[in-house]
């Protein structure tokens, strides 16, 4: 059995405040040593100008964000998915949106950098989004092999690109930190998250930002935990807080045997 946990936040520009929010949420949740805790995208700093995130960016394996999450994973003997936070790159004008997986001993087990950047126009009070201005896209598909199963890592806008998930091969759990906008969320969030669970025949833990942030950006909330059959196991509409679901990942085997989608797939990514 695995305890899947998603933390829904209304993150602020204050890194320390957001880290304290995570610590307080874990203290009040039922976090066992078989838990996978997923934080939302931009959990550590949100609601400010994108360029200001450069001042928050940390080098790999150093900095208060990574240190605090590592300590929390070790304290609770659980897995923590870092949502995203800005990581320094070789280009001083850009950071990467880093999504790290911390193990129960506090070690970094996986390092995914968001591949698909949100350069779109949305009919909301922000209007135009251009992540690529200050964010360097990642290039690597990342799956972590752990004692509780294979965990695939993706972030927000990635969910619209099914080729990424085909490239992951067989995964037991897909973690999806997000900061879906209110407009795109109400139109597509549930459909996309459930589609990825159904096509991959895996559990999905999708942790989203919620509410109105300091810069006026509106996020959708509705963090979800979805089964390999597409069932909603837990959902938090718009409040801040935690959802969780205890699951038996071996359930996937029966679904895969009865409907061997991966075996039948005639269109395979060149990554697999």
Q: Catalytic residue, from 94, 114, 194, 200: name it.
A: 114
Distances (CA, A) of 22 to 28, 97, 158: 10, 19, 24
To the nearest 10 degrees (0 to 180), the angle between helices 64-76 and 15-28 is 10
Specify if 79 maps to a domain.
Answer: yes
Share of the chain above pLDDT 90, in %: 89
Specify if 271 maps to a domain.
Answer: no
Q: Catalytic residue, from 42, 45, 78, 156: name it.
A: 156
Give the per-residue pLDDT at 51.
82
Specify if 253 maps to a domain.
Answer: yes
Q: What is the DSSP letter of 123?
A: S
Specify if 58 maps to a domain.
Answer: yes
4-33 per-position pLDDT tens digit: 999 999 999 999 999 999 999 999 999 988
CB 226 within 8 A of CB 203: yes
Question: Looking at the chain, how many residues does it have?
Answer: 272
CA dihedral 63, 158, 21, 227 (to 10 degrees): -130
pLDDT at 157 over 50: yes
Tokens of residue 170, six digits? 């067989």
Specify if 122 maps to a domain.
Answer: yes
> Could you tell me which residues are beta bridge partners of residue 110?
101
Q: Catalytic residue, from 41, 58, 131, 218: name it.
A: 41
Can you tell me the mean pLDDT for 80-109?
A: 97
Q: Residue 96 is part of a domain; what is its CATH number?
A: 3.60.110.10
pLDDT at 1 over 60: yes
Backbone angles phi, psi at 90, to 5 degrees: -70, -15
Confidence of residue 269 (pLDDT cuts 50, 70, 90): low
Specify if 270 maps to a domain.
Answer: no
For the chain, what is the domain count? 1
Can you tell me the mean pLDDT for 215-233?
A: 97
Pairwise CA distance, residues 39 & 131, whole Å: 20
Confidence of residue 272 (pLDDT cuts 50, 70, 90): very low
Give the per-residue pLDDT at 195.
98
Mean pLDDT of the chain: 95
41 is catalytic: yes
Specify if 250 maps to a domain.
Answer: yes
Give the per-residue pLDDT at 32.
84
Pairwise CA distance, residues 169 & 186, whole Å: 29
pLDDT at 115 over 70: yes
pLDDT at 270 over 70: no
Give the per-residue pLDDT at 252.
95
HEC secondary structure over 253-269: HHHHHHCCHHHHCCCCC
Domain that holds residue 145: 2-264
37-87 per-position pLDDT tens digit: 999 999 999 999 878 899 999 999 999 999 999 999 999 999 999 999 999
Specify if 90 maps to a domain.
Answer: yes
Confidence of residue 271 (pLDDT cuts 50, 70, 90): very low
Give the per-residue pLDDT at 122.
84
Pairwise CA distance, residues 54 & 92, whole Å: 8
């Amino acid at each position: 059995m695995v305890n899947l946990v998603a933390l829904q936040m209304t993150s602020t520009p204050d890194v320390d405040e957001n880290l304290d929010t995570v610590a307080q949420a874990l203290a009040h949740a039922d976090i066992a040593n078989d838990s996978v805790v997923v934080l939302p995208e931009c959990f550590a700093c949100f609601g400010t100008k994108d360029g200001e995130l450069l001042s928050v960016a940390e080098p790999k394996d150093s900095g208060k964000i990574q240190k605090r999450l590592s300590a929390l994973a070790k304290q609770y003997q659980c897995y923590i998915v870092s949502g995203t936070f800005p990581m320094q790159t070789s280009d001083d004008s850009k950071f990467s949106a880093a999504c790290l997986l911390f193990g129960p001993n506090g070690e970094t087990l996986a390092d995914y950098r968001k591949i698909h950047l949100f350069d779109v126009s949305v009919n909301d009070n922000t209007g135009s989004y251009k992540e690529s201005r200050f964010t360097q896209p990642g290039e690597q598909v990342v799956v972590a092999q752990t004692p509780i199963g294979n965990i695939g890592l993706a972030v927000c806008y990635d969910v619209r690109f099914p080729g990424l998930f085909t490239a992951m091969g067989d995964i037991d759990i897909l973690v999806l930190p997000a900061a879906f906008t209110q407009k795109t969320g109400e139109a597509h969030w549930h459909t996309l998250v459930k589609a990825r669970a159904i096509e991959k025949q895996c559990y999905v833990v999708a942790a989203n930002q919620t509410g109105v942030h300091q810069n006026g950006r509106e996020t959708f909330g509705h963090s979800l935990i979805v089964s390999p059959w597409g069932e909603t196991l837990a959902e938090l509409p718009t409040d801040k807080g935690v959802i969780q679901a205890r699951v038996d990942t071996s359930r996937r085997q029966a679904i895969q045997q009865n409907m061997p989608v991966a075996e039948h797939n005639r269109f395979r990514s060149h990554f697999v």
